[in-house]
């Protein structure tokens, strides 16, 4: 297959690309910078210059390839406070792909999230479907959720669409995401903190395991499929804090709710979301057996604390 990958040089994309290439697929990657273009070219990827705002470019490339894996998201915009703007750009990109692939039977796989999906219980692939409050034009998180539901509905337009929901931490050496942010906060405060009794849980997956699942999805996920990329159902954040504390040799302490914003900054609302997620249906349907290290093993191995390689 000739697969178009957005976010091809990003944290997840840079694992998905070699996974696709090793399976014999040709890859075209979207690059928004000279550095990204150079990295993709060196990896043997055909490079298309552009951003998510270049919808004409997205449409042209999608229409000439055999399928799309959409990983790009304007995280810099979202984390600067404009999550709505980032979600709107994501929606426009997915709508563009839907129009370009309509009636073709070609695959469109997009990344979505598990955080907060089914509070109080274990979320399954059957959860989170149906109308979304605010729809495509709601606030940032709800709009992104609505975009995932819109993607699944593209099955009715002859697109082999699927959504791969990912944990908040897709971990591994070099990750600069949420766990890296928690490490940075522990360094800054001199303490590895957690909320409450430390029992808030997050699902987790190693980046290489997630990459294998994206390849399976683009190759053979039926139209309208939801996949869960959760290798671990729920890792207590108190245990994550303890592992960080051991690596940094700093104390591990609970953070009172009244101090959560000061300690965790923009991560405050997220570390309060107890989320567990099953991937049992995905494992059975795709023969997916995660083999990478667990999150706590990755932290203990210094993946977040050893500094640059």
Both structure tokens of 201: 């849980």
3-state secondary structure of 307: coil
Domain that holds residue 95: 2-168+206-229
Both structure tokens of 305: 């604390």
- Per-residue pLDDT reduced to its tens digit, 32-45: 999 999 999 999 99
- Find out whether 230 and 168 touch, Cβ atoms under 8 Å: no
Measure CA 8 to chain center. 13
- Per-residue pLDDT reduced to its tens digit, 72-89: 998 887 777 777 888 889
Same domain, 184 and 82: no
- Structural domains in the chain (count): 2
Same domain, 22 and 138: yes
Inside any domain, residue 70: yes
Inside any domain, residue 307: no
- Per-residue pLDDT reduced to its tens digit, 292-301: 999 999 999 9
Report the C-alpha gap between 163 and 154 in whole angstroms.
11
Of 57, 81, 64, which Cα lies nearest the Cα of 72? 57
Residue 235: is its pLDDT beyond 90?
Answer: yes
pLDDT (mean) for 2-17: 97
Same domain, 163 and 270: no
pLDDT, residue 140, reads 53
DSSP 108: E
Residues 6+ apart with CB under 8 A from 25: 1, 2, 3, 215
pLDDT, residue 78, reads 74
- Per-residue pLDDT reduced to its tens digit, 46-73: 999 999 999 999 999 999 999 999 999 9
Same domain, 84 and 134: yes
Rg (C-alpha) for the chain, rounded Å, is 19
Residues 6+ apart with CB under 8 A from 135: 142, 143, 146
Residue 135: is its pLDDT beyond 70?
Answer: no
Say which CATH number the domain at 25 has. Answer: 3.40.50.720
pLDDT, residue 309, reads 42
């Amino acid at each position: 297959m000739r697969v178009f990958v957005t976010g091809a040089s990003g944290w997840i994309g840079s694992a998905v690309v070699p996974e696709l290439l090793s399976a014999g697929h040709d890859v075209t990657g979207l690059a928004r910078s000279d550095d990204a273009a150079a990295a993709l070219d060196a990896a043997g990827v055909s490079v298309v210059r552009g951003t998510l705002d270049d919808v004409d470019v997205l449409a042209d490339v999608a229409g000439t390839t055999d399928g799309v894996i959409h990983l790009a998201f304007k995280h810099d915009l979202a984390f600067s406070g404009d999550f709505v703007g980032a979600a709107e750009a994501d929606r426009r990109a997915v709508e563009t792909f839907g129009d370009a692939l309509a009636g073709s039977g070609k695959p469109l796989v997009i990344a979505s999230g598990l955080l907060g999906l089914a509070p109080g219980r274990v979320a399954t692939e059957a959860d989170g479907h149906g109308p979304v409050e605010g729809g495509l034009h709601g606030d940032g998180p709800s709009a992104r959720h609505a975009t995932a539901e819109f993607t699944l509905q593209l099955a009715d337009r002859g697109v082999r669409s699927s959504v791969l929901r990912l944990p908040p931490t897709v971990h591994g050496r070099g990750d600069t995401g949420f766990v890296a942010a928690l490490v940075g906060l522990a360094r800054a405060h001199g303490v590895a903190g957690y909320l409450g009794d430390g029992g808030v849980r997050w699902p987790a997956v190693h980046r290489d395991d997630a990459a294998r699942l994206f390849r399976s999805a683009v190759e053979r996920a039926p139209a309208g499929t939801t996949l869960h990329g959760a290798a671990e159902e729920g890792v207590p954040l108190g245990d994550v804090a303890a592992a960080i504390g051991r690596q940094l040799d700093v104390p591990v302490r609970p953070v009172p709710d009244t101090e959560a914003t000061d300690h965790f900054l923009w991560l405050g609302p997220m570390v309060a979301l107890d989320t567990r997620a099953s991937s049992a249906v995905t494992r059975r349907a795709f023969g997916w057996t995660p083999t990478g290290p667990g999150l706590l093993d990755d932290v203990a191995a210094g993946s977040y604390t050893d500094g640059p390689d």
